[in-house]
Amino acid sequence: MTSTMGTGDTRVRTPSVPNSAVAALRASFGGQVVGPADAGYEEHRRVWNGSIDRRPALIARCTGVDDVRTAVRFGREQQLTVAVRGGGHSFPGLSTCDGGLLIDLRPMNGVRVDPGARVAGVQAGALLGELDQRTQEHGLAVPSGIVSHTGVAGLTLGGGIGWVMRKYGLTVDSLESVDLVTADGEFVRAGEDENAELFWGLRGGGGNFGVVTDFRFRLHPLGPQVMAGATFWSMDEAERVLRAYRDWIADCPDELMTIVVQRLAPALPVVPAELVGRPVIAVVACYAGDVDEGEEVLRPMRGFGSPVLDLFAPKPYVVHQQMFDPSFRHGCWYYVRSCDVAALTDEVIGVVAEHGRRITSPLSSIALWQMGGAVARVPDDATAFSGRSAGFTFNINGNTATADGFDDQRQWARDYWTALAPFHTGVYVNFLMEEGGTRVRQAYGDTKYRRLSALKRAYDPSNFFRLNQNVPPG
Ligand code: FAD
């Protein structure tokens, strides 16, 4: 018996591992092998989403490529379900499992920056904050995501959207090559000139093709100071604010990247006590260019109507990158629904205004991402990532601190998403929960899905790596 559940399901049962095999693994492994009886097991089995509570039989905490190869071969020999973890921020908890082998890359978090050549080598266990810190020492950056404790690996393998994408493209658009351990435990490198089809699939196709051990990125000049922050209005103003926002961004430069947020005003030191807990709509932005120019571009929106709070200021890019960190703490209960839409039509604005008013949890929120710019200028078939022509991406988060009230927030997120259904144009694969094979196919579209499926057959015909947004071998 190897699995009791369907493809991609993390609640699988696997056979128990003989003690002699575990002892042999420990003897040949550079890092730690942690079992349920070992110190640290409780800490290392946890993932970011507190609603996911799974217990792997073994956690292989890798220190390098050799450990990854050893772990993959062990998992295969023992017929274990294998989960692979970078930063552990998969919304549906795909980077852990019950009873199988967890290949934990977190100890491999080195970042090597060559400022002259403008490239960075990044090990697969690094977090965005670790990458930003090292690159910003040289006034350089890799376009990445907006919460600094997210993993570089999972984010990159799905595409990578963030504050400077409209200027410099997706994270995958700055990827030069990757090192990977295949399902057979073999080491391969993929780039434009080497295993090009695999490289195409890795730029959006997730963890389907192997365990990436190292990424090599091109770096771009940025900051270190940027004009960034947020302006808040009362949620009652949502329709007016969104219409003004739509007009304001219509002709904006690529340097400007915005996200509209709806939530209850958070209890943070920068938020006045009388505002905390009140429903607000905010335009959050980062200007990836000259600070004074950014101030000019932002002025009309910041001056619109009667804002209740304005937090825009020149600041270090690394500080802005951490702005959302307190809103997405480890261990809270998280649920997300996501979709792309083509435009902020009056109908879409109506849905946003109506459902935003129904937020009741201090941790629930929506992020409405402005797409376009450099992302849309890369040909759609250049990478496996889909959604380059999206106008906006919705990320609707029904979150609570504990299990208490979680069902209600999840339902709120589902209702919001369902109300947007007439306008859905696609979905970003990294914002999917475990929503089934049809949704994964929708995320890629039929043509790319078939191409990914053929690639899967070439690199992982037995679907050994299936705890991901799974594309089964075609
Ligand atoms: P993990 O849970 O470790 O892994 C996620 C998936 O990738 C799993 O299937 C795992 O097996 C696989 N995987 C991980 N590492 C490897 C590897 N080395 N080789 C092969 N497969 C691997 N996305 C954005 O694009 N932009 C954002 O700004 C953004 N913000 C986010 C903020 C938060 C708080 C969260 C929770 C998510 C955010 N996301 C964002 C989505 C994010 O990109 C995905 O959740 C991503 O999968 C997280 O990567 P990770 O390494 O932390 O996850």
SS3 382: helix
CATH 3.30.465.10-classified regions of the chain:
111-221
The answer regarding whether domain 225-431 maps to CATH 3.40.462.20 reads yes
pLDDT for 3 equals: 33
Q: Can you tell me the distance from the alpha carbon of 310 to that of 157, in angstroms, rounded to the nearest whole number?
A: 35
pTM: 0.96
For 98-129, the pLDDT digits (tens) are 999 999 999 999 999 999 999 999 999 999 99
The residue whose two tokens read 């050549």 is: 117
Non-local (6+) Cβ contacts of 256 within 8 A are: 166, 249, 285, 286, 287, 288, 294, 297, 298
Could you tell which of 62, 89, 388 is best to mutate to test the pocket of ligand 1, judged by most ligand atoms within 8 Å of the CB? 89
Name the DSSP class of 331.
T
Per-residue pLDDT of the chain (474 residues; tens, 9 = 90+): 233 333 344 444 445 899 999 999 999 999 999 999 999 999 999 999 999 999 999 999 999 999 999 999 999 999 999 999 999 999 999 999 999 999 999 999 999 999 999 999 999 999 999 999 999 999 999 999 999 999 999 999 999 999 999 999 999 999 999 999 999 999 999 999 999 999 999 999 999 999 999 999 999 999 999 999 999 999 999 999 999 999 999 999 999 999 999 999 999 999 999 999 999 999 999 999 999 999 999 999 999 999 999 999 999 999 999 999 999 999 999 999 999 999 999 999 999 999 999 999 999 999 999 999 999 999 999 999 999 999 999 999 999 999 999 999 999 999 999 999 999 999 999 999 999 999 999 999 999 999 999 999 999 999 999 999 999 999
The beta strand positions in 198-247, using DSSP E, are 211-218, 220-221, 225-234
CA of 158 to the centre of ligand 1 (A): 8
- Verify whether ligand 1 is closer than 6 Å to residue 125 (CB atom): no
Q: For residue 211, is it left (φ>0), alpha (ψ between -120 and 50) or beta?
A: beta
Residues of the chain with CATH 3.40.462.20: 225-431
Regarding the beta carbon of 93 and ligand 1, being less than 6 Å apart is answered no
Q: How far is CA 443 from CA 126, 386, 438, in A?
A: 26, 7, 9
Say if domain 111-221 classifies as CATH 3.30.465.10.
yes
> Which residue has a Cα nearest atom 6 of ligand 1?
154
Distance (Å) of CA 302 to CA 231, 247, 262, 277, 284: 6, 14, 16, 22, 10
pLDDT of residue 198: 98
Whole-number pLDDT of residue 1: 28
Q: What is the DSSP string of 294-330?
A: HHHHHHHHHTSS--SEE--EEEEHHHHHTTTGGGG-T
Q: What are the C-alpha distances in Å from 421 to residues 111, 242, 281, 302, 314?
A: 41, 19, 22, 31, 38
Burial code (b: 16+ CB inside 10 Å, e: under 16) for 239-269 equals bebbebbbebbeebebbbbbbbbbbbbbeee
CB 180 within 8 A of CB 210: yes
Pocket-testing residue among 155, 161, 166, 320, ligand 1, by greatest number of atoms within 8 A of Cβ = 155
Do the Cβ atoms of 341 and 425 come closer than 8 Å? yes
Token output for 146: 């907006």
Atom of ligand 1 nearest to the CA of 159: 25
Q: Which of 125, 123, 126, 128 is nearest to 142 (CA)?
A: 128
Taking the C-alpha atoms of residue 190 and residue 133, their distance in angstroms, rounded to an integer, is 26
CB contact at 8 A, 40 and 32:
yes
Distance in Å, CA 247 to ligand 1 centroid: 33
**Residue positions counted in the chain:** 474
Max Cα distance, the chain (Å)? 70
Task: Enter the tokens of residue 450.
Answer: 């078939």
Ligand 1 in reach of 153 Cβ (< 6 A): yes
Position 16 scores a pLDDT of: 81
* Cis before 224 (ω within 30): yes
Please, which residues have CB within 8 angstroms of residue 82's CB and are 6 or more apart in sequence?
Answer: 72, 75, 97, 100, 101, 102, 103, 464, 465, 467
H helices then E strands: how many in the chain? 15, 20
3-class state of residue 129 by DSSP: helix
Token pair 């899967």 is found at 456
Are 361 and 266 contacting, i.e. CB atoms less than 8 angstroms apart?
no
181 and 427 Cβ atoms separated by less than 8 Å: no
Residue 225 in 3-state DSSP?
strand
One CATH from 3.30.43.10, 3.30.460.20, 3.40.640.10, 3.60.20.10 for 2-104: 3.30.43.10
Whether residue 89 has its Cβ less than 6 Å from ligand 1: yes
Query: Is 223 a pocket residue for ligand 1 (Cβ < 6 Å)?
Result: no
Nearest Cα residue to atom 35 of ligand 1: 89
* Start-end of CATH 3.30.43.10 domains in the chain: 2-104
One-letter amino acid for residue 352 of the chain: V
